[in-house]
C-alpha cells in the first residue's frame, strides 16, 4: 500500500501537465437590482430624458416667407415744431446792451483800494528741514493754543473729587484708629520713654554681641552649636526691635 505523502514512482509523473484554470465564480448580482429597476421605471416619464415622445411636424404649406416676421410700422404723421424758437443772432451793426450799465471807474477804484488798504499778513508756515516742504503752522499743533483756554491751569473736577474722597477716607481711618486705641486702652510712649527703651535694647545687643564674640573658634559639639544659634537669634530679634523703634516715632503700648 503506497503512502499518500510519498506516492510510488511513475513515468506519467515525469511528463509535465498543462495547468487547469479554476472555474470562474459567478458574477456578482445585487439582490436589490430588480427593486431599483422597478423604482426607476415608476419615476421615469416620457419627457424627462429624451424629450417628448411625439413631435408635431410643420406642414410644407406654411413655409417662411420674406418679411413675414417683421412687425408693422405705425402710420406716418406730419412733423410739427411745438417748442418756442430762440431769438436770432444780432448783426454786426447792432450794439445790444449787455447787463446793467454803470458809470463807475473800476480801474481808479481798484488802484485806490490797493494804495489805502492794509498789507496782507503772510500765512504762518514751518519747514521741517532746509530743503523740505512748507506746511501750515496753524494746523500743525506746534503753536501752544491750549494756554488760551478758559480752563487752562485749573484742576479738573474729577481730581478735586478724588482728593476729597481720599481726605475723607483718611479721616475715617484716623477716627477708626483712635476709636480702637481708646477701646483697647492704649497709650502713646513719650519721647523720653522711647529713647530709654531704645538705649536699653542697644545695650542688650552689645552684651549679647560680646558674649557671641567670646565663643570658641571651633564649634565641634552640639552644646556649642546650640549656644551659638541661640545668641544669633537673640541678636537678630534685638536688631529687628531697634530698627522698628528707630523707624517709627509714634508708638502705642497697651496698659497693664
CA distance 201 to 207: 10
| Chain-centroid distance, C-alpha 27 | 66
> Which residues face 126 on adjacent strands?
135
Average pLDDT of the segment spanning 132-146: 85
Q: Are 131 and 141 in contact (CB under 8 A)?
A: no
List pLDDT tens digits, range 80-133: 888 888 888 888 888 767 667 778 889 999 999 989 988 888 888 888 888 888
pLDDT recorded at residue 256: 58
Distance in angstroms (rounded) separating the CA atoms of residues 244 and 198: 10
Segment 32-63, tens digit of pLDDT: 999 999 888 887 765 565 666 677 788 888 88
**What region does 185 belong to: left with phi over 0, alpha with psi -120 to 50, or beta?**
left
Band (pLDDT 50/70/90 cuts) for residue 144 is confident
Given pLDDT bands bounded at 50, 70 and 90, which one contains residue 167? very high
Confidence of residue 170 (pLDDT cuts 50, 70, 90): very high
pLDDT at residue 70 in the model: 87
Residue 117 lies in a domain: no
pLDDT of residue 50: 64
Cα Rg of the chain (Å, integer): 61
Report pTM: 0.30
Asked if residue 240 is part of any domain, the answer here is yes
First and final C-alpha spacing in the chain: 127
Task: Quote the domain boundaries for residue 243.
Answer: 187-254
Residue 238 within a domain:
yes
Within a domain: 8:
no
Give residue-wise pLDDT tens across range 214-224. Answer: 888 777 888 88
In this predicted structure, what is the pLDDT of residue 160?
A: 93
Closest Cα partner for 187 from 246, 139, 250?
250
SS (H, E, C) 160-180: HHHHHHHHHHHHHHHHHHHHH
- Residue 180 counted as domain residue: no
Q: Tell me if residue 30 falls in helix, strand or coil.
A: coil
Is 147 contained in some domain?
A: no
Share of the chain above pLDDT 90, in %: 15
What is the count of structural domains for the chain? Answer: 1
Helix, strand or coil for residue 188? strand
pLDDT score recorded for residue 255: 65
| Mean of pLDDT values over 10-21 | 77
Hey, what's the cell of 200?
536699653
Q: Is residue 71 part of a domain?
A: no
DSSP string, 101-168: -----HHHHHHHHHHHSPPPPPPPEEESSTT--EEESTTSS-S-GGGGSTTTTPPPHHHHHHHHHHHH
Query: Where is mean pLDDT largest: 114-123, 154-163, 180-189, 247-256?
Result: 154-163
Q: Is residue 200 part of a domain?
A: yes
Amino acid at each position: 500500500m503506497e503512502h499518500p505523502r510519498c506516492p510510488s514512482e511513475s513515468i506519467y509523473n515525469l511528463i509535465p501537465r498543462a495547468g487547469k484554470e479554476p472555474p470562474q465564480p459567478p458574477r456578482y448580482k445585487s439582490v436589490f437590482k430588480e427593486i431599483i429597476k422597478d423604482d426607476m421605471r415608476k419615476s421615469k416619464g416620457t419627457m424627462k430624458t429624451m424629450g417628448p415622445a411625439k413631435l408635431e411636424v410643420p406642414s410644407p404649406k406654411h413655409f417662411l416667407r420674406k418679411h413675414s416676421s417683421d412687425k408693422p410700422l405705425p402710420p406716418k404723421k406730419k412733423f410739427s415744431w411745438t417748442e418756442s424758437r430762440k431769438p436770432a443772432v444780432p448783426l454786426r451793426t447792432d450794439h445790444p446792451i449787455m447787463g446793467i450799465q454803470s458809470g463807475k471807474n473800476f480801474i481808479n477804484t481798484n488802484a485806490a483800494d490797493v494804495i489805502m488798504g492794509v498789507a496782507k499778513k503772510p500765512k504762518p508756515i514751518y519747514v521741517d528741514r532746509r530743503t523740505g516742504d512748507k506746511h501750515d503752522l496753524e494746523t500743525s499743533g506746534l503753536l501752544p493754543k491750549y494756554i488760551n483756554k478758559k480752563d487752562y491751569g485749573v484742576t479738573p473736577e474729577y481730581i478735586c473729587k478724588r482728593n476729597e474722597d481720599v481726605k475723607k477716607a483718611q479721616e475715617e481711618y484716623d477716627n477708626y484708629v483712635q476709636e480702637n486705641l481708646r477701646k483697647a486702652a492704649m497709650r502713646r510712649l513719650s519721647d523720653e520713654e522711647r529713647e530709654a527703651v531704645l538705649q536699653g535694647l542697644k545695650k542688650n545687643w552689645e552684651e549679647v554681641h560680646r558674649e557671641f564674640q567670646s565663643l570658641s573658634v571651633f564649634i565641634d559639639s552640639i552644646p556649642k552649636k546650640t549656644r551659638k544659634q541661640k545668641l544669633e537669634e537673640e541678636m537678630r530679634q534685638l536688631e529687628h526691635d531697634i530698627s522698628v523703634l528707630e523707624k517709627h516715632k509714634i508708638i502705642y503700648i497697651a496698659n497693664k
